[in-house]
Amino acid sequence: MIDFGYTINKDRQIDFDNADRRIIEYVAKEESTISICLICGACTATCSAGNFTDFNIRKITNMIRVGEVENLREEIKKCMLCGKCQLVCPRGVNTRNIILKINEAIKLFH
């Protein structure tokens, strides 16, 4: 193969073989609407916590899908459970319950 000089940095890879899937599996079982999320970002755009911090609910749901769960406990604490994200979601995803279930999963597995 031709060596074009490009490499993939280890810290930019998603290692599905060693990903921690326990949180997404728990959340998907307890709040199945996570599976119909379009990843459109409307929830993030309206998020009260996101207006004042770097909290990003869309990013968090993506992170747990690929098993990136470091700092999740600290991140999730920024959510105020106000429910605005749920009001604007075009798919009716129960985002607030997803956050509650992520909290439960963290307590169970971390």
| Contact set with ligand SF4 (CB under 6 A) | 37-43, 47-50, 57-58, 79-85, 89-91, 93, 95-96, 99
Q: How far is the CB of 4 from ligand SF4 (least distance, A)?
A: 35
Q: Which is nearer to ligand SF4, 21 or 78 (CB)?
A: 78
Q: Residue 21's CB: how many other CB atoms inside 10 A?
A: 14
Which amino acid makes up residue 39?
I
Give the residue carrying structure tokens 């599905």.
16
Q: Which is nearer to ligand SF4, 23 or 79 (CB)?
A: 79
Sign of CA dihedral 76, 100, 63, 67: positive
Q: Is 66 exposed, middle or buried (0-12, 13-18, 19+ CB in 10 A)?
A: middle
- Contact status, residue 81 vs residue 35, Cβ threshold 8 Å: no
Q: Which is nearer to ligand SF4, 15 or 29 (CB)?
A: 29
Q: Which is nearer to ligand SF4, 72 or 89 (CB)?
A: 89
Q: How far is the CB of 83 from ligand SF4 (least distance, A)?
A: 5
